[in-house]
Structure 1
């Protein structure tokens, strides 16, 4: 997976971002001020930077000027239009404002890595292989027929692996906010994926909540 530099001076936010990025398989380095970030960029090759704007010693815009070709996502409380325009004009790949949902950040990280070809176009875990570009799923080398919703549910689980997701959240992400069915739809589709992929012990049931795809690095 990717090597990501997290530049955020608020330690709880920095640790939260790092912990969640590492849960889904990335390697992370955390720094807490602009000068240290610039030093890191000069001495280490990173696949992505998650960057605050308001930093001690050197602000995020200065750090971005030094980052040059490194894909960068701003994660900041600076939500004014001029700040967004400035960040994107300087070359940032995305701009997410606080407060934010962790799942949205994870999705944006994945999107930027895929655009910049730093993310893998193929995911493999044990006997399961997923070709993201071809939207194909394989189990023990054999193609697995998945319905569109089964595939979308699988993608959400994989992108957010090791993170517990409620049934309601899975419904929103896969079926949309206007879906009129109930959460039993999730249970049915989970059972089908478990059987098709041999993941009876990989897709864990989280008591009174939902499910978690448990894959450790």
Structure 2
């Protein structure tokens, strides 16, 4: 299977040149011209490498990288930027960027970096373990103490947010944002789905690991009395 990448770049001439060069090398490349469209594509599709311009409309490349990392997406990010100061690069790396390429760049160097990042990613295990719970993002499977759990897409998003932040408390607002973005259908919907998730994750056979912290949020952690 060939390499698949996403380019988020608002310079259409540069984007066309990059997409054309990559496709000549057998690399599939989707393009978005602003950060929010890039976010939609990055979360809806599977890519081997993500490439973001730093200065993007609607959501910056660094903001986009930070948002995706907080939501658990660990696909390698190559930042394309005309900003070459140490402070700029520090901000990018702190947001989860894997590599930087300064504009203007040579297409051959871009190809080398894409292939290197793709090989690195293919060796990573996208698996998260917390409080006796295991999630595999590649196979979209989740287990509790070795027992497979069947989750709906909404329940999966909620659990992933809790696992990624465990043992920290996650605010209700952050959980709602992770699942529904800015279009929350109902203020009571989160409670409904959390109850459904608890029935599957905690259930009658397991010690509870999903806890509500009144006035703060929800946390996934194993209490002392449940420790093995």
Q: TM-score, normalised by structure 2?
A: 0.50
2:22 alignment counterpart:
21
1:42 alignment counterpart:
43
How does 1:113-132 map onto structure 2 within 5 Å? 113-117=118-122
Task: Give the secondary structure class of the aligned counterpart of 1:92.
Answer: coil
Please identify runs of 4+ aligned residues in structure 1 that moved more than 6 A: none
Task: Give the secondary structure class of the aligned counterpart of 1:19.
Answer: helix
CA contact (8 A) 2:5 2:47 kept: yes
Measured against aligned partners, the alpha-carbon deviations of 1:179-198 in whole angstroms (never above 9, x if no partner) come to: xxxxxxxxxxxxxxxxxxxx
2:64 alignment counterpart:
63
2:98 alignment counterpart:
93
Unpaired segments ≥5 residues, structure 1: 119-217
2:3 alignment counterpart:
2
Higher mean alpha-carbon deviation, 26-35 vs 36-45, is at 36-45
User: Shift of residue 114 of structure 1?
Assistant: 1.3
For these two proteins, the number of residue pairs brought into alignment is 118
CA contact (8 A) 2:75 2:121 kept: no
Distance in 2, matches of 1:44 and 1:54, equals: 23
User: Shift of residue 37 of structure 1?
Assistant: 0.6
1:31 alignment counterpart:
32
Distance in 1, matches of 2:90 and 2:66, equals: 15
Distance in 1, matches of 2:22 and 2:68, equals: 20
Distance in 2, matches of 1:77 and 1:9, equals: 13
Q: TM-score, normalised by structure 1?
A: 0.52
CA contact (8 A) 2:63 2:95 kept: no
User: Shift of residue 16 of structure 1?
Assistant: 0.9
Distance in 1, matches of 2:98 and 2:17, equals: 21
CA contact (8 A) 1:41 1:66 kept: no
User: Shift of residue 42 of structure 1?
Assistant: 2.0
